[in-house]
A and B are shown apart, each in its own frame.
Chain A
Amino acid sequence: MRIVCPFCGERELGEFTYLGDTKPVRPEAGASEDEVFDYVYLRDNVAGDTSEYWYHGGGCRAWLKVTRNTLTHEISSIEPAAGAGAAKVDA
């Protein structure tokens, strides 16, 4: 598998580490135990496109948000994951 790092270009899978689903967002400081429990443990098991975190540890050390099809391994988008998991604080 090849991943096109937005900073380093196309690189081989071995340079990257997989973490998992980008959907869960870290709850705010005052969140309940249930909310945090869901954030830590609840994941969908998707057959199809998923958005997931990959770490370019063998390169620029950027965390990336990768949209990958779990059936075909086809990657349709890759972007920096900056702020993707941050609690949404009302302005």
Chain B
Amino acid sequence: MAGAQTHRLGNGGLVDRSAPLNFRFDGKAFSGFQGDTLASALIANGVKLVGRSFKYHRPRGILTSGSEEPNALVELRTGARREPNTKATTAELYDGLEAASQNRWPSLRHDVMSVNQLFAPIFVAGFYYKTFMWPAKFWEAIYEPAIRRAAGLGRAAGVADPDHYDKAWAHCDVLIAGSGPTGLAAALAAGRSGARVILCEEDFTLGGRLLSDGGTIDGVPAAEWLSRTLAELADMPDVRIMTRTTLFGVYDGGTYGAIERVNDHLPSPPQHQVRQRLWRIVAKRCVVAAGAIERPIVFAGNDTPGVMMASAIRTYVARYAATPAKRLALFTNNEDGWRTVETALGAGLQIAAVIDARPEISPAHRSLASKGGFPVLHGSVSGVDGGKDGVRKIAVSLTGGARAEVEADGLAVSGGWNPAVGLTSFHRGRPAWRDDISAFVPDGAPPGMVAAGAANGDFGLGACLSQGFAAGAAAARDTGHSGIVGTAPAADDEAFSLTPLWHVAGKGKAFVDYQHDVTASDIELAQREGFESVEHLKRYTTLGMATDQGKTSNVAGLAIMAAVSGRSIPETGTTIYRPPYVPVAIGAFAGHHRDETFHATRLTPSHHWAVEQGAVFVDTGLWKRAQWYPRAGEKDWLESVTREVKAVRSGVGFCDVSTLGKIDVHGPDAGAFLDRVYINTFSSLAVGKARYGLMLREDGIVYDDGTTSRLAEDHYFLTTTTAKAGLVMQHLEFCRQVLFPELDVQLTSVSDQWAQFSIAGPKTRDLLREIVDPSEDLSNEGFPFMGVREVALRGGLRARLFRISFSGEMAFEISVPARFGDAMARNLMLAGAPFGVTPYGTEALGVMRVEKGHIAGPELSGTTTAADLGLGKMMSTKKDYIGRVMAGREALVAPDRQVVVGIRPTDRTRRLRSGAHIIPKGQTPGPGNDQGYVTSVCFSPTLDQWIGLALVERGRERIGEIVHAHDPLRGEDYDVELCNPVFYDPDGGRQRG
């Protein structure tokens, strides 16, 4: 059992003393209770030192009790689940929790890097730019790694995250951020109106400041009102309350981002559950009831462990029954800070003194002081004597110049409150300055959003309740809900009085941004060096750039800049606010889109059969395609592919080509439509015939190719490349709907409806006759090259048969409804067995297309014209089509363009590789004589050597010329001969046979 909780009160608070939890911090065992955060449990155990600062490695303690915490960042959990920079103030305690402090070595108490404090003069604002300038090569080798080791936060786990993250959508009428008095009042009003409500609360307990500050609402204690209100909300079926959920971003059209920490409060997520869930919430209205953040005052030693925000001390004492100090001093410039005195006295703590920067304090507080027996000092804290063991003494500059000292082991600080203006400012909104509270408040908000209560600069409990209620009712009304809302909960407003105080001059480091170690003197230096604009200030000093995004530091930084530059705070202005409001794990944004589920996977109709065959698959876009089918004893892919090609060329093989895009084009104007989108003519294509077509982009560059068949007078069947299937559909719809509305034509994507197989080789007809009904005439006369027809298969199934060839062999493509694809593959194997049928994959397909000189993806590169590809003659001169005019531009018809040509190495044994540059023979390779590059290569089993296609300047005029192939990436240089790109059966006799 871990040690006693020495700083835990005997009773009170919202922790469950019957549920003790054991945990470890830096290896040491402690215990806390259910309902604790890691921070409150550490405080209950008397732990003051929790981390080392970013640059100077100064000892740091817990400053706040919420997500604004800059100091108490820990590595939470261990191993693959280790998460750096986790705020101890929001991490829920669980049994077995393990946390470690960050940025220290060898230990938190003895950190050798704290010598950085001695070198503080070089770590001033802009020190990266000033200090590590030369020699330049030192930056990557020495400076950067050294800085990264010394200055930094926690360590990433370094291994894959074992947890799952989810993404989800939610829709509502009224979205409410925050469950304090404002948010709950808004939820009551909106819920009673009948609106669909979602309330997000980042804490694990609902109530906001009510949990710490109490009060009286509708004549009853706040706790009683809270439980009554939560019960009423729980009974409303259309009110959804999401705890552990932070609204972090506002996007266009009423879309909000929220992160739900579903299982962060457990050691690891239960089986089949996610760690976190990223919500996109679509809301017609949003009420921001995110409250306000108490701000520190900048004075020397204000980062000493034991110096805490006054409101945080109230939270630790009242909500967690944990006492951060035994003898507490308060430094305040406003009325609200005094509430900490009341709470502390109520819990039996000693008050050492109150240092109040205001000229006057109320008689009530004066009498509280005399009753409590502590002095009230008018003045400011000018220094703190203490260190890693906490505060010992506090130096006070009294108004009038005298000095005083206060002995205390804790110092509560209250510099006033800053409304949480993040959410309302995310659409580049600039908050407005309000003099009466010396704070920025929302000035407008994104459409549909309104701030209420403390987030709107109205801090009193009564104002929060009435504003929240009114905002909730109005939001519900705006969305068409008019149920009876009743009356708003009522409470008195606390007295408010504040004298602005940002910075107390004094000797020693006075921190503005705790997390990035930005001091008041850094801001003064930035101003002297000309970085006066707030955006420059931010980047030069890194003020407000850390994981807390300056929640406790930005306004103080602006105020100090305003003072030294002689401007007002509103003139100085704020930096742009951007989401996320709190750090969100990249894993949550990715959700399930990782690893093999990064994107959807499409399987061909014969996929499972191919798996049984032991095929090796390749990802082509979303598709898994069989790349080759290895057989026992084959030593590598080349051997398998060579076998497949030889089998096709000498016998028969088949390949699943279902991945091609398929589009049905229907209507009386189908032919006219195709004439406008292809460079060649389709209206003249006879029914029962297929034709190869080429499409251009409107700028004259080739877009896509494929065969299109005419199945009936008013019905064409168009195919696209696999890669462009979706894009061509989109393009054709644009042409149809936007450009050519007068044409009576309809497009239907049927890519997924048809399974299509290419059957190729001299024995194709032998195989097909086993599949197709004997009555079908497959002879050259009965089914000529480029013929298309529906045929009956043995057994009665209807199929489409296309006599087209990509391989250059006698070939057909057969197409059956996709659900018969698997059966078709099995039948082809069965029926083809006597002919030695061989399934082949995309590699063999590619080899045969290069042998045949067909263009494919590498040549359809988005830079080539039809003429570059040797297809210039297809460009009709008798009609208009997409890309026609632009294709005629001077540079696109220039005679020295790089055009497709065949290549083969002069050394027959040499392997070719794509990407090698073509240089005239005898010249030294360089950009000036680069004449093109190799686009596609393969080992041709037919020619028993490597061959390729290349884009070469004037290539077709240079057939027979020996040029140089230069491959600087692989360090290869060799000669190749330019040749006819059709290596195999150039007159096409085989495919027509």
Q: Which residues of A contact B (CB under 8 A)?
A: 1-2, 12-13, 17, 19, 26-27, 29, 31-33, 36-37, 39-41, 53, 55, 57, 61-63, 72-75, 80-87
Q: List 20 A-B contacts (CB under 8 A).
A: A2-B252, A12-B255, A13-B252, A13-B253, A19-B734, A27-B885, A29-B880, A33-B886, A36-B885, A37-B889, A40-B698, A40-B699, A61-B729, A62-B737, A63-B734, A72-B427, A81-B737, A82-B737, A85-B739, A86-B738
Residues of the B chain whose Cβ atoms lie less than 8 Å from the Cβ of A57: 726, 730
Contact of B738 among A41, A61, A63, A74 (CB under 8 A): A63
Contact of A73 among B252, B699, B734, B740 (CB under 8 A): B252
Report whether over half of chain A's contact residues are helix, strand or loop; otherwise say mixed.
loop
B342: Cβ under 8 A from any A Cβ? no
Interchain pairs with CB closer than 8 A, number = 74
B282 & A2 in contact (Cβ 8 Å cutoff): yes
Residues of the B chain whose Cβ atoms lie less than 8 Å from the Cβ of A33: 885-886, 888-889
B570: Cβ under 8 A from any A Cβ? no
Minimal Cβ-Cβ distance residue in B for A74: B447
Residues of the A chain whose Cβ atoms lie less than 8 Å from the Cβ of B282: 2, 12
Residues of the A chain whose Cβ atoms lie less than 8 Å from the Cβ of B885: 27, 31-33, 36
Residues of the A chain whose Cβ atoms lie less than 8 Å from the Cβ of B253: 1-2, 13, 73, 75
Given the interface contacts A29-B880, A63-B733, does A53 sit within 8 Å of B889 by beta carbon? no
Q: How far is the CB of B691 from chain A (nearest CB, A)?
A: 22
Minimal Cβ-Cβ distance residue in A for B880: A29
B252 & A1 in contact (Cβ 8 Å cutoff): yes
Given the interface contacts A2-B282, A40-B699, A55-B730, does A63 sit within 8 Å of B737 by beta carbon? yes
Q: Which of B253, B254, B255 has the most CB of A within 10 A?
A: B253
Minimal Cβ-Cβ distance residue in B for A2: B253
A29 to B733, CA, bound (A): 20
Q: How far is the CB of A76 from chain B (nearest CB, A)?
A: 12
List B residues 863-881 near A (Cβ within 8 Å). 879-880
Residues of the A chain whose Cβ atoms lie less than 8 Å from the Cβ of B733: 55, 61, 63
- How many interface residues does B have (CB within 8 Å)? 28
B742: Cβ under 8 A from any A Cβ? yes
A29 to B881, CA, bound (A): 8
A83 & B741 in contact (Cβ 8 Å cutoff): yes
Q: Which of A33, A36, A84 has the most CB of B within 10 A?
A: A36
Contact of B254 among A2, A13, A36, A82 (CB under 8 A): A2
A41 to B742, CA, bound (A): 25
Q: Which residues of B contact A (CB under 8 A)?
A: 169, 251-255, 282, 427, 447, 698-699, 726, 729-730, 733-734, 737-742, 879-880, 885-886, 888-889
A55 to B738, CA, bound (A): 11
Given the interface contacts A55-B734, A62-B737, A74-B447, does A1 sit within 8 Å of B251 by beta carbon? yes
Residues of the B chain whose Cβ atoms lie less than 8 Å from the Cβ of A75: 253
B251 & A26 in contact (Cβ 8 Å cutoff): no
B886 & A1 in contact (Cβ 8 Å cutoff): no
Q: How far is the CB of A42 from chain B (nearest CB, A)?
A: 13
Minimal Cβ-Cβ distance residue in A for B733: A61
Given the interface contacts A2-B255, A55-B733, does A36 sit within 8 Å of B738 by beta carbon? no
Q: How far is the CB of A36 from chain B (nearest CB, A)?
A: 4
Residues of the B chain whose Cβ atoms lie less than 8 Å from the Cβ of A36: 885-886
A73 to B250, CA, bound (A): 13
Residues of the B chain whose Cβ atoms lie less than 8 Å from the Cβ of A19: 734
Minimal Cβ-Cβ distance residue in B for A3: B253
Known: A37-B886, A83-B737, A87-B739. 4 other contacts (CB 8 A): A12-B169, A55-B734, A83-B738, A85-B738
A87 to B252, CA, bound (A): 34
A81 to B359, CA, bound (A): 69
Residues of the A chain whose Cβ atoms lie less than 8 Å from the Cβ of B447: 74
A85 to B734, CA, bound (A): 9
A41 to B447, CA, bound (A): 35
A37 to B742, CA, bound (A): 24
Residues of the A chain whose Cβ atoms lie less than 8 Å from the Cβ of B737: 62-63, 80-83
Residues of the A chain whose Cβ atoms lie less than 8 Å from the Cβ of B741: 82-83, 86
Q: How far is the CB of B61 from chain A (nearest CB, A)?
A: 44
A1 to B254, CA, bound (A): 8
A74 to B254, CA, bound (A): 11
Residues of the A chain whose Cβ atoms lie less than 8 Å from the Cβ of B734: 19, 53, 55, 63, 85
A2 to B253, CA, bound (A): 5
A81 to B736, CA, bound (A): 11
Closest 5 CB pairs of A and B: A29-B880, A83-B741, A2-B253, A1-B252, A36-B885
Given the interface contacts A40-B698, A57-B726, does A81 sit within 8 Å of B886 by beta carbon? no
A73 to B251, CA, bound (A): 10
B742 & A86 in contact (Cβ 8 Å cutoff): yes
Q: Which of A17, A55, A62, A74 has the most CB of B within 10 A?
A: A55
Residues of the B chain whose Cβ atoms lie less than 8 Å from the Cβ of A37: 886, 889
Minimal Cβ-Cβ distance residue in B for A26: B739
A91 to B729, CA, bound (A): 31
Residues of the A chain whose Cβ atoms lie less than 8 Å from the Cβ of B427: 72
B740 & A86 in contact (Cβ 8 Å cutoff): yes
Q: How far is the CB of B252 from chain A (nearest CB, A)?
A: 4
A87 to B427, CA, bound (A): 39
Minimal Cβ-Cβ distance residue in B for A53: B738
Minimal Cβ-Cβ distance residue in B for A71: B428
